[in-house]
Amino acid sequence: MDSWPLVVAVGLLIVGLGITIGYLLQIWFARRQRKLLEFSLDAELKALGDKQRELIVEARREANMLRDEVELEIRDRRDEVLSTERSLRKREQGLDRRAESQDNREDQLRDRESALDERSQQVERAHQDQIDRLERISEMTRSEAVDRLMEQTRQESREQLSQIVRDSEREAKEQADHKARWLIGVALQRVASEHTSVSTVSVVSLPSDEMKGRLIGREGRNIRALESATGVDLIVDDTPETVVLSCFDPVRREVARSALTRLIEDGRIHPTRIEEQVGKARREIQAIIKAEGERASYDVGYPNLHADLINMLGRLRYRQSFGQNVLSHSLEVAFLAGTMASEVGGDPQTARFGGLLHDIGKAIDHEVEGPHALIGAERCRRFDVPEAVAHAVEAHHFEVEPHSFEAFAVAAADAISASRPGARRETVELFVRRLEELETIANSFDGIEKSYAVQAGRELRIAVKPEEIDELGALRLSRDVVAQIKDTMTYPGQIKVTVIRETRSVDYAK
């Protein structure tokens, strides 16, 4: 019990000694650490001083180098400025000398200009004096003399030009006539086709007049059924054992003719049988039309025509123009045009194609308004025919002015095929009527002395009164007559209009 306070005291003493020793050790370590830091700081300050000195030395060295470079550059710039100043001074001196020379030249030019003005005035006065003397001598003013001289020059030039034009026209005409005869001869020799003339009236023969009554039927029912089914007028008149089919559409007329022939052979004629035979005939005719169109396109060398164009070509087999079969005529025109084009260096394929299709509009001209040439060209363009071919189609009757050789070749071949002897036929009455119409049209104009229709109506020659119509009026008259013929007449091929103006000068020596 008595040792407990002693233990406590000892313990406290030990704790106090530990605290005191720890405090003393901490003070010692702090002092040691401060000394170490001071030593390290002194070392770093020393190192920084050395480095600062090195940087200062390096900076001074670089500053010296930069100063040397700047001084060198300043010297170079100073030399350049001095050189530039010297060149500018030389140029300025040169400009001064040029300005002085220019001033001298201007003074000389002013002196020369004043001298020229004076001489010009002298020349003008002398010229005016000469003009005045000439006017007094010739008793004409200057304007009158100029007008007379111009008129004489114009008259002489007109006469010379007229002579040159006449000589050129005569030479060109002779060469063109020779070339045309040779070309047409070659084409006709190579294309020697037969003439095909078919009547435009469909006449059906009957075994007896009794058949007319059976065709008419009770109260006309059979004839009405036939006309209704075919769209053709059946004409039953007093002509023995004959009936006539009338229709603007040749295909319908052919269908009616074929069906009527079958009905007459069969003998059974009533509305049902009529419709049956008409339908059968229509199918057969359509097959023939397709076959004929394909044959024509193959013959010319264009088998890939549009189906509608082939159908229109086939329809031309049943179309006639002044008795000439239009499909045969188109084939002949195609071969003629192709031959002429190959002879003169044109495009024979375009010419043949245009010749084949040139009358394609006649297949539908009873259905569409307008000339068949323009109708055909419109259909060709609709079915993607080449433009050169469509132009040849629309220009073969000169409704459109042709601008290619192939178009001219098609027009010429069409005229050749239509005008060949025996190619077309017409009655004497129609022939005489056409000649009279031509002469009547010519005589309807003023200043006409006499007119003659010659060469079977292919040419119209008009003699005019020279005191009423001059040369320019004769040219206008020919164009007006041609326009009148185109507007009022229907004719095959083309008609040449020749206006003749003859002047005579008569005097008597007494």
Q: Is the pLDDT of residue 164 over 60?
A: yes
Q: Which amino acid is at 165?
A: V
Q: What is the CATH number of domain 429-500?
A: 3.30.300.20
pTM of the predicted model, to two decimals? 0.48
Would you state the pLDDT for residue 192? 44
Percent of the chain predicted with pLDDT > 90: 2
Say if CB 416 and CB 184 are below 8 A apart: yes
Mean pLDDT, residues 289-305: 86
pLDDT for residue 510 is more than 50: yes
Contact 424, 491 (CB under 8 A): no
Angle made by CA atoms 207, 210, 214, in degrees to the nearest 5 = 105
Comparing 75-89, 96-110, 122-136, 440-454, the range with the smallest average pLDDT is: 122-136
Q: Which residues pair with 243 in a beta bridge?
A: 204
Give the chain's mean pLDDT: 79
Mind listing the pLDDT tens digit for each residue in 350-377? 888 989 988 888 888 777 777 888 888 8
| Tokens matching residue 342 | 């190959």
pLDDT digits (tens, 9 = 90+) for 101-123: 888 888 888 888 888 888 888 88
25 membership: H or E segment, kind and range? helix 4-138
Residue 280, judged by CB atoms within 10 A of its CB (0-12, 13-18, 19+), counts as: middle
Q: What is the mean pLDDT of residues 135-141?
A: 70
CA 256 – CA 318 distance, rounded (Å): 13
- Mapped onto helix, strand or coil, the DSSP state of residue 242 is strand
| CA distances from residue 200 to 6, 247, 248, 334, 489 in whole angstroms, order as listed | 169, 10, 10, 23, 20
CATH of 202-419 among 2.60.40, 1.10.3210, 2.160.20, 1.10.3470? 1.10.3210
pLDDT at 387: 92
Q: Which two tokens stand for residue 441?
A: 């049209």
Residue among 350, 335, 357, 353 nearest 405 (CA): 350
Please report the pLDDT score of residue 178 as a whole number: 55
CA pair distance 281, 275, nearest whole angstrom:
10
CB-side neighbour CA atoms (13 Å) of 400: 19
Query: Between β-strands 459-464 and 496-500, what pairing exists: parallel, antiparallel or unpaired?
Result: parallel
pLDDT at 395 over 70: yes
> b/e string for 45-56 if b means 16 or more Cβ within 10 A?
eeeeeeeeeeee
pLDDT for residue 119: 85
Q: What is the pLDDT of residues 237-246, one digit of tens each?
A: 777 778 888 8
Quick one: what percent of the chain has pLDDT higher than 70? 87
First to last CA, the chain: 208
CA 78 vs. chain centroid, Å, equals 75
User: What pLDDT, on a 0 to 100 scale, did the predictor assign at position 149?
Assistant: 72
